[in-house]
Amino acid sequence: MLLIALASLLLVAYFFFPFMDGIILGTVFAYVGKPIRDLFPRKKRTGVLIAVLCIVIPIFLVLGLGMIEIANQIIILAKNQEAIRLALAAFTDQLSQDLTPWVKDLLAGGLENVAGILGPIAASIPVFHMGRVASLAIINFFISIPVCYFILLEGESLVSSLISMLGESEKQTCGKYIRRIDAILSGIFIGTIYTSILGSIISLAVFYAFGMPKPFALASIVFVAGMVPFFTSWVVIIPLSIYRYLSAGAEGAALFFIISSAFIYLPSELLIRPYLVASRSSLHPLLVMLSFLGGAMVGGIGGFFLAPALMGTIVGIYQVRREEMRPEGA
C-alpha cells in the first residue's frame, strides 16, 4: 500500500508539473494576502476574497499589460530592423545638434551597434515557442488565483490536521519549526511583493506624467527589479534619466531623476523593504538576492519564488536547531 501511495503521488506530481509555476505563485500570493485577510477575522471568506483581489489585480495590470507591450516591441524589432536603424540614425542626428562631433559619432555608433545586436537576437526567437511559453504563463497565472484563494481559506486547517497525527512531543517540535519558517517566508514574500507593487504603481503614474514610451512595460520592469535586493528601481530610473537628458536636456533629466527617486525609490526601498524583509525574515539581503536570481535562471517563474522559500526553510531549521542546542542561560 505504501508503494501504491508513493507511485500515485509521483504520478499526480507528474501531471501537475506543467502547472507548478501557478501552484508556487498561488502559494506566494497567499503569503502576501494573509495580512489583508486577517483584517476581517469575523468574515473569513470575505477577507480571503478581498485579499486575493488586492494582490492579483495590480500584479495583473502591471505585469500583464507590460508583458504585452514588451512582446509587441520584440515582434516589431524582429520585423523592422532596417527601419529601426534609420529611425535611430535620424533620432541621434536630431538630438545631437548641440553636441560635439566626437560625442555625436560615439552616440550614433553606440545606438547602431545596439540595434545591430538586438535585431538578430529578436529575429532568432522562435515565435511559436514564444507563444507556447506565453500561453502556459497565462494559464499558470490564472491557476494561481484559486490556489491562493483556497490556501488562504483552508491552508492553516490543513497544516493543523497534518500536525495532529503526530505525538505530543513531535507536535511541539514541529510547530516550533513551522512557526519560524512561516515568519521567515512571510518576511521575504510580503516585503518583496509589497515593495514591488507599490514601486510599480507609483512608477506607472510618474512615467505617464513625463510622457515616457511604453509605461506599462517600464513599470513591469520596475516590478521585477524591485523584488531583487540591490537591483531595485535604479535599473530603470538611471537609463530613463539618460533618455530624458537626450530628449529634454539637463533640467528635464534632473527633474525626472529627483521625482522618480523621491516617489518610486524612497517609499518602497527605505521604508517598506527594511521594515518587512530585514526585521521579519532575519535573512541577509545577499542570500535573498542570490536566491531570487539563481532560482529564476534555473527554474523560471517557479524557481524565482521557490529558491528563496527553500533558503528560508533551511535558515529557519538552522535557527531553531541552534536555539535548541544552546545551553540554558547562555
Q: What is the pLDDT of residues 254-292, one digit of tens each?
A: 888 888 888 877 766 666 665 655 555 566 667 777 787
SS3 76: helix
> Contacts from 127-132 at CB under 8 Å and sequence distance 24+?
127/75, 130/71
For the segment 91-97, the average pLDDT, to the nearest whole number, is 59
Higher-confidence position of 220 and 228: 220
Identify the pLDDT of residue 41: 80
85 and 189 part of one domain: no
65, 66, 204, 312 from 52: Cα distances, Å = 19, 21, 22, 24
For the segment 320-330, the average pLDDT, to the nearest whole number, is 73
Higher-confidence position of 103 and 61: 61
Going by pLDDT thresholds of 50, 70 and 90, the confidence category of residue 314 is confident
Identify the pLDDT of residue 108: 58
Say yes or no to pLDDT of 253 above 70. Answer: yes
55 and 125 part of one domain: yes
Identify the pLDDT of residue 117: 55
Identify the pLDDT of residue 70: 72
SS3 237: helix
Going by pLDDT thresholds of 50, 70 and 90, the confidence category of residue 224 is confident
Say yes or no to pLDDT of 106 above 70. Answer: no
Q: Is 2 a member of any domain?
A: no
Cell numbers given for 218:
517600464
Which helix or strand (DSSP H or E) is residue 30 part of?
Answer: helix 20-37
Q: Is 298 a member of any domain?
A: yes
227 and 106 part of one domain: no
Which residues, 6+ apart, have CB-to-CB distance to 79 below 8 Å? none
How many structural domains are present in the chain?
A: 2
Q: Is 13 a member of any domain?
A: no
Cell numbers given for 119:
535585431
Among the ranges given (7-21, 157-171, 226-240), the one the predictor scored with the smallest mean pLDDT: 226-240
Say yes or no to pLDDT of 82 above 60. Answer: yes
Q: Is 141 a member of any domain?
A: yes
Average pLDDT in the chain: 75
Going by pLDDT thresholds of 50, 70 and 90, the confidence category of residue 235 is confident
**Selection from 147, 136, 134 nearest residue 28 by Cα:** 147
In terms of phi and psi (left: phi > 0; alpha: psi -120 to 50; beta: otherwise), the region of 179 is alpha
Identify the pLDDT of residue 168: 73
Q: Is 1 a member of any domain?
A: no
Identify the pLDDT of residue 120: 56
Higher-confidence position of 83 and 207: 207
Domain with 152, as residue range(s), is 18-165
Q: What is the pLDDT of residues 160-191, one digit of tens each?
A: 887 777 777 777 778 788 888 888 888 778 87
Going by pLDDT thresholds of 50, 70 and 90, the confidence category of residue 324 is confident
For the segment 51-61, the average pLDDT, to the nearest whole number, is 83
24 and 159 part of one domain: yes
Cα separation, 123 vs 79, in Å, equals: 7
Identify the pLDDT of residue 105: 63
Q: Is 329 a member of any domain?
A: no
Which pTM was predicted?
Answer: 0.71
Q: Is 7 a member of any domain?
A: no
73 and 160 part of one domain: yes
Say yes or no to pLDDT of 34 above 80. Answer: yes
Going by pLDDT thresholds of 50, 70 and 90, the confidence category of residue 201 is confident
For the segment 77-97, the average pLDDT, to the nearest whole number, is 62
Beta-carbon neighbour count of residue 45 at 10 Å? 12
Among the ranges given (65-69, 85-89, 275-279), the one the predictor scored with the smallest mean pLDDT: 275-279
177 and 275 part of one domain: yes
